Amino acid sequence: MKPKELERFKKIDRRITEICAEMGLEGREITFVFVPPSRMSEAMAYGFPRNIPSWIAGRDFDINDTIWRHTGSGIPYEVIWGFGIHEEPKAFLVKGYPFALQVLINAHCRGHEHFSLSNKFLRRRTINLAEQARLATERVRGYIREYGREAVGMAIEATHSLKKYMDPTPFQVIVSEDDIRTVLLDRKKSELEAVGRASGDREERETHIKRIEGELKVLKTKTPPVPNYNVLRCILESTPAEHDPYRLDIANVLLDQEEYLRDNMGTKLANEGCASYLHRKITKRLFEEGRISDEEFGVASHFNSLVMADSKSFNWYLVGAAFFEDIEDRWNKGQFGKAYMDCKDPNKRQTFFRPGFGGEGIKKVFDIWENYNDRMIISDPELFSDEFIRAMEIFIWERKIDPQTGDIIDVRTHTEPDDVRAMLAYRHTLYGIPLLCVMNKNHDRRRELYIRHDYSGLELDPKAESGAMEYLYYWWEKPVHLETREIVERNESGTPTKTKGIIHSYDGKNHTFK
Amino acid sequence: MSVIIVSDEEATQGPEDAKWHRDKQIDDIKERIPDIITNEDIITSDPTGKKIVIPIRILEVPDFRHGNRKGEKGNAGGYGIGAGRGSPGDIIGREKRKEKGSKAGDGLSSGMTEAEIDFDELLISWAELIGLPNIRRRSDGTIYEMEWRIGGTTDSGPISLLKHKDTGAEACKIFFAFMQILQNETGEDELTCYNALKESEGGLNEARDLLEKGMTELKYTEVEPFLIYADGHLLFNEMLEKEIPVTTAVILFALDVSYSMDRDRKFIAISLLFWIRHLLRVHPRYKRIIVRCIIHPGTHEKAEIVSAEEAFARVGSGGTEIYAAFEVMNQLVEAEYPTGHYDVYGLYCSDGEDFDIPHTIEEIRKFVTRDISMLGYAEVRVGGSEEKTIMPELVKAFDLRMEAHGGISVSAGSKELPLIAITLHDKAGVGPAIAQFLQKERWS
């Protein structure tokens, strides 16, 4: 950036800060760093300016950087982090991008900053992850010197493979196994007492009591007491790997980062929508004030229009920004509430108007930013309305087999708003990640690990599964077992019609299937 | 108000870890070398000091992911959310049916990408694959070759390097020394001192104590020397590093450009020269590589020294007299590249046709007895042609033994004979041919 441009950017930045304050947005001082494209590729690969060294991030960096150097595309306009309340917000922007785009990105980052500070689901985060990553980087470099790259690389791979299998309950609070066991034991004891006091057939009561006593006995030692969907965290609580502290350190740092990422995933639509919605408003204001020229505004609008719909994917920026614009418009017109929702005539709904709600739109937008996550938004037909879904032309597609050619085809199947909402909500629960849980850390009373895959119509890739089982063994150091399902029959179009259960076991040397 | 910083700092951790990833991919790169080395774009350019683009498999970390356990019907069952105009039933994507015999789940769905690799990095990977001698980089970036040999003696080291004989001799000396000390200090006789030393299991101080207290019973009736291993008296072999002096390699490349050598055959020949030249260039032994190209166009035409480009472009007429090329090679060694000062490599490429085999054998014999490093005779027989060639006579004349390696046949003699004769049929044979030519065991 030339010195004059830099000065101008600083001036506009000051004005953006004022506009944000006028709009009532929360915000702190953000550090914007203009970096060469290679640093952006690096930040994209590692998630932070500094993070644990790994070949995995090196691979991603190499791909990003090579694509950039040969095509001039493939890296994001910005990478931002540190928007938690205990963090210091920072953003990388790429040197050499058009001035108007840099202004747009500045405004976009203010949106992220406001959302992160105001949203109740993100506000609860307490770790300064960027700082944790920076410190962990130095420690891991020390581990590499001490234990060798191979050993440290293995710990990173074994964490990377398993870190994403988490409880889908959004924004859950982690409760210890002992606390869960205590609660369950208390319940069982209460149940036992109640049965003991109850009247009725004595033999039946005694049978019941015996059953509860049996369950109590199991509950006292069963670990985990209930299926634990935070697979790696659960394993790490009892792993023999604790004798290698470096392995645990690496796993814990990467798990913290993954949990942070999962929180972000749960609000991605709202967060990107907020940032895109605000950057549109702010750049328009700057244009109206004459701080950016016609041409620059055109450039900014051009980049806005680049968030185009792709027929097979869901575009957070496009849908998110449009969603909040729709909310603002509808709430200003009074298009919400019982009267609106009870109206089923689409023509009447389109022209529905209640006076006196002007200005309510932006309040509702702020309310959603503060109190909602994506699943809450998507599941609510008052917010994520039928009209909006139809206007955005959102649909569900399914992968099938062409009965004539045998080709794999992606077919548009559902466009009904209820179906779209249900599917989007489901997607925003599991994000395409198989659901796994730890069932027993003392399987067969031999301290073997037993994991269950909660089958929901999709099988597991067997070759990848074998590799992942070996990583499970790496952490558990005793035989590991996975219960999953295999599709036995499909119909003509490839939809499963019959399955069977299989147990995949690995003892450190051999994979067996039963 | 924001803080605004302009940074010129380029990525550092990314390239470092990208190298880590590349090291893990090295096996994949090594597997691809046979394809890479036949890439005409590389051979017809000068990639020295540059990066080349090669297809490479992306490594992935296996995890639990959705897929198809059997793969009989492809990957049906997935779904997604999209946006755009259309109606239910519209096909928005199509993937051609997998070929028979393949199944989903082969590999980890790891895709291919193109990666840039330093040309020299590729050469070094290949050299390691072939088994060229140790190549190592100094911290200042220059390359030297390390040769390790066992020699000398030191007083510490791993048990595997213990010099048993010398240590035993030393232990024996210690016994006699201790015996002498005890006798001198205590005045006791030899047998008494021996008993004390034996009782103390070789400990001098303990033996002194026993003698001071007085040995009432002598358990041993005669002196039988035993080994006493004392700290600091264990002797080990020493691993000595030796840096091999750098010198100049000369490649005398001779190409038959007679009518029978068509473009495909010439390309294979030029490929051999290209890769051997570059592999020797990155070898730490050589500071400099000199290449001289010799062509012999045809019968009654003299062999000439030309540039590599001209060698590739020239088309002769008539039949072939191989000896003419070897005459020039012999003259060059005698007049310009004495083997006392240069490492001389000869590489001759032809389709094997020769009108004067005895003369050729005689010239080859002169060449290989000049203390050269290696002569490679490469016969390129594209299409499996069955014409009579010089090969059988060559094998017989030099008592070569034929073996098959990676699609080529290789004939080599005793270790003292710096001659290897190779028959290759297509460009896939280039890699194996070079590996055989430069194989460590063949080097003199």
Closest CA to A125 of A262, A16, A29, A220: A262
* Least confident window among A114-128, B38-52, B277-291: B38-52
Please name every residue paired with A506 in a beta bridge, in sequence order, or none if there are none: A480, A511
Contact residues on chain A for B79, CB-CB shorter than 8 A: 396-399, 423
Q: What per-residue confidence (pLDDT) applies to B276?
A: 86
Q: Any long-range contacts for B152-160 (C-beta under 8 Å, 24+ apart)?
A: B152/B237, B152/B238, B152/B240, B153/B235, B153/B236, B153/B237, B153/B238, B154/B235, B154/B236, B154/B237, B154/B238, B155/B232, B155/B233, B155/B234, B155/B235, B155/B236, B156/B234, B156/B236, B157/B236, B157/B237, B157/B238, B158/B236
* C-alpha–C-alpha distance, residues A219 and A211, integer Å: 12
DSSP 3-state percent helix, strand, coil across chain A (nearest 5): 55, 15, 30
For residues B406 and B422, is the Cβ–Cβ distance under 8 A?
Answer: no
Taking the C-alpha atoms of residue A408 and residue B95, their distance in angstroms, rounded to an integer, is: 5
- DSSP code of residue B256: E
CA angle at residue B440 from B434 to B444, to 5 degrees?
Answer: 105
Q: Output the pLDDT for position A378.
A: 94
Q: What is the mean pLDDT of chain B?
A: 80
Is B14–A436 a contact, with Cβ atoms under 8 angstroms apart? no
**Which residue among A13, A157, A458 sits closest to B66, beta carbon to beta carbon?**
A458
Residue to mutate among B5, B10, B13, B110, with most A CBs inside 10 A, is: B13
On whether any CB of chain A is under 8 Å from the CB of B142, the answer is no
CB burial class (10 A; 0-12, 13-18, 19+) of residue A413? Answer: middle
Residues of A with CB below 8 A from B22's CB?
Answer: 58, 62
Q: Which residue in A38, A409, A495 is closest to B94 by CB distance?
A: A409
Q: Which of residues 147-176 of B touch A (CB under 8 A)?
A: none
Q: For residue B136, give how far its alpha carbon lies from the nearest alpha carbon of chain A (Å).
A: 19
Taking a C-beta distance cutoff of 8 angstroms, is the pair B343, B234 a contact?
no
Nearest to B96 among A58, A407, A490 (CB): A407
The CA–CA distances, whole Å, from B378 to B273, B315, B421, B429, B434 equal 11, 19, 6, 11, 10
Interface of B with A in 33-72 (CB under 8 A): 58-59, 61-70
From chain A residues 329-388, the ones with a CB under 8 A of any chain B CB are: none
* Residue of B224, B187, B225 whose CA lies nearest to B208: B187
* Range among A397-411, B30-44, B361-375 rated most confident: B361-375
Q: Do B17 and A149 touch (CB under 8 A)?
A: no
Write out chain B residues lying below 8 Å of A453, CB-based: 64
Q: Give the C-alpha separation, B378 to B285, whole Å.
A: 25
- Predicted pLDDT of residue B81: 86
- Residues A17, B7: C-beta atoms closer than 8 Å: no
Q: Indicate which of A7, A20, A34, A410 best probes the interface with B, i.e. most B CBs within 10 Å of its own CB.
A: A410
Question: In this complex, do B83 and A39 lie within 8 Å of one another by their Cβ atoms?
Answer: no
Q: What is the DSSP string of B5-74?
A: EE--PPPSHHHHHHHHHHHHHHHHHHHHHHHHTT-HHHHTS--TTSEEEEEEEPP------B--SS-TTT
- Residue to mutate among A399, A471, A472, A485, with most B CBs inside 10 A, is A399
Closest CA to B121 of B39, B45, B49: B49
Q: Which residues of A340-368 are buried (b: 16+ CB within 10 A; e: fewer)?
A: beeeeeeeebeebeeeebeebbbebbbeb
Q: CA-CA distances (angstroms) from residue B189 to B75, B217, B218, B226?
A: 93, 14, 12, 18
CB nearest B4 (choices: A9, A160, A413): A9
pLDDT bracket for residue B444 (50, 70, 90): very low
Closest CA to B51 of B68, B36, B61: B36
Q: Does B26 touch chain A (CB under 8 A)?
A: no
pLDDT at position B207: 93
Helix (H) or strand (E) run with residue A14 in it:
helix A3-22
Task: Name the nearest CA neighbour of A365 among A339, A318, A330.
Answer: A330
> Which residues from B are below 8 Å from A411, CB to CB?
89-92
Q: Which residues of A touch B85 (CB under 8 A)?
A: 393
- Give residue for tokens 């500070």: A117
Q: DSSP labels for B114-172?
A: EEEEEHHHHHHHHHHHHTPSP-EE-TTS-EE-EEEEEEEEES---GGGB-HHHHHHHHH
Q: How many residues does the structure list for chain A? A: 514
> How many Å lie between the alpha carbon of B53 and the closest alpha carbon of chain A?
10
Contact A409 B62 (CB under 8 A): no
- How many angstroms away from the CA of B128 is the closest CA of chain A? 20
Q: Which 8-state DSSP code applies to residue B440?
A: G
Under an 8 A CB cutoff, do B61 and A62 touch?
no
Token pair in block for residue A269: 């639509």
Q: What is the pLDDT of residue B79?
A: 76
Portion 91-130 of B in contact with A at CB < 8 A: 91-97, 104-109, 113-116
What is the model's pLDDT at position B149?
67
Residue B105 has pLDDT above 70, yes or no: no
Q: Which residues 86-145 of chain A have a CB within 8 Å of chain B? A: 95, 106, 137
Helix (H) or strand (E) holding B210: helix B204-213
pLDDT digits (tens, 9 = 90+) for B171-230: 888 999 999 999 999 999 999 999 999 999 999 999 999 999 988 788 899 999 998 887
* Residues B401, B413 contacting (CB under 8 angstroms): yes
- pLDDT at B141 > cutoff 80: no
> What pLDDT, in 10s, does the model give residues B309-343?
787 777 776 667 889 899 999 999 999 998 888 88
Residues pairing with B81 in the sheet = A396
Scanning every residue of chain A, which has its alpha carbon at the shortest distance from the alpha carbon of B19?
A: A58
Measure in Å the smallest separation between the Cα of A221 and chain B Cα atoms.
28
Strand order in the sheet with B3-6: A78-81, A90-94, A31-35, B3-6
pLDDT band at B300 (very low <50, low <70, confident <90, very high): low
A156 CA to chain B: closest CA distance, Å? Answer: 10
pLDDT at site B25: 82
Decide if A29 touches B, using CB distance below 8 A.
yes
Please tell me what DSSP assigns to residue A24: T
Chains A and B form CB pairs within 8 A to the count of: 297
| Stretch among A23-27, A353-357, B107-111, B421-425 having the lowest mean pLDDT | B107-111
Q: What is the pLDDT tens value at each position of chain A, 514 positions in all?
A: 788 889 999 999 999 999 999 999 988 889 999 999 999 999 999 988 889 999 999 999 988 888 888 788 788 888 888 877 778 899 999 998 889 999 999 999 999 999 999 999 888 777 888 889 999 999 999 999 999 999 999 999 999 999 999 988 766 777 888 888 999 999 999 999 998 888 888 888 889 999 999 999 888 888 999 999 999 999 998 888 777 899 999 999 999 999 888 888 889 999 999 999 999 999 999 999 999 888 888 877 777 655 554 577 778 888 999 999 999 999 999 999 999 999 989 899 989 999 998 899 999 999 999 999 999 999 999 999 999 999 999 998 888 888 888 888 888 888 899 999 998 888 887 888 999 999 999 999 899 999 999 998 889 999 899 999 999 999 999 999 999 999 998 877 677 889 999 999 999 999 999 9
**Residue A187 distance to chain B (closest CA, Å):** 35
The Cα–Cα gap between A185 and A225 comes to 10
Q: How many CA atoms lie within 13 A of B388 on its CB side?
A: 5
- Asked if A494 reaches chain B (Cβ–Cβ under 8 Å), the answer is yes
- Nearest to residue A319, comparing CAs of A420, A267, A381, A388? A388
Q: Is B248 helix (H, G, I), strand (E, B) or coil?
A: strand
Bin B77: left if φ > 0, else alpha if -120 < ψ < 50, else beta.
left
Rounded Cα–Cα distance for residues B434 and B438 (Å): 6
Residues of B in contact with A494 (CB under 8 A): 73-74, 76-77
The pairing of strands B304-306 and B401-405 is unpaired
Q: Amino acid letter at A42? A: E
Nearest 5 degrees, angle CA A445-CA A446-CA A452?
A: 80
Please report which confidence band the pLDDT of residue B52 belongs to, taking 50, 70 and 90 as the band edges: confident
pTM value is 0.69
Whose tokens are 């139809």? That residue is A390
Average pLDDT over residues B410-414: 84
Q: Strand, helix or coil at B280?
A: helix
Chain A residues with CB under 8 Å of B106 CB are 463
State residue B143's pLDDT score. Answer: 42
Tokens at A459, concatenated: 């099988």
The alpha carbon dihedral of B177, B182, B187, B190 has a sign of negative
Dist. CA B241–CA B134, nearest whole Å = 12
DSSP 8-state class, residue A243 = G
Residue A505 CA to residue A478 CA, distance in Å, equals: 11
Please check whether residue A456 touches B, CB under 8 A: no
Confidence band for B303, pLDDT divided at 50, 70 and 90: confident
Q: Are the Cβ atoms of A393 and B22 closer than 8 angstroms?
A: no
* Nearest by CB: A411 against B77, B91, B105: B91
Q: By C-alpha distance, which of A495, A435, A420 is closest to B78?
A: A495
Q: Is A461 on the interface with B (CB under 8 A)?
A: yes
Q: Do B17 and A53 touch (CB under 8 A)?
A: yes
* pLDDT at residue number B102: 36
Is residue A33 within 8 A of residue B7, CB to CB? The reply is yes
Tell me the CA distances in angstroms from B23 to A54, B16, B17, B335, one per residue in order: 12, 11, 10, 45
Q: Cα–Cα distance between B48 and B281 in angstroms, integer?
A: 10
Q: How is residue A442 written in tokens?
A: 């003392």
* pLDDT greater at residue B45 or residue A11: A11
What letter does residue B88 receive in the DSSP assignment?
T
- Tokens at A12, concatenated: 């506009």
Give the separation between CA A454 and CA A466, rounded to whole angstroms: 17
Facing B6 at nearest CB: one of A6, A161, A486: A6
Distance from CA of A285 to the nearest CA of B (A): 18
Cis, bond preceding A224 (omega within 30 deg of 0): yes
Q: How confident is the model at residue B383 (pLDDT cuts 50, 70, 90)?
A: low
Among candidates A137, A407, A467 on the partner chain, residue whose Cβ is nearest the Cβ of B94: A407
Inter-chain CB proximity B106 and A38 less than 8 Å:
no
Q: Which helix (H) or strand (E) holds A302?
A: helix A294-305
Measured at the alpha carbon of residue A61, what is the angle toward residues A58 and A67, in degrees to the nearest 5?
Answer: 140
* pLDDT greater than 60 at residue B137: no
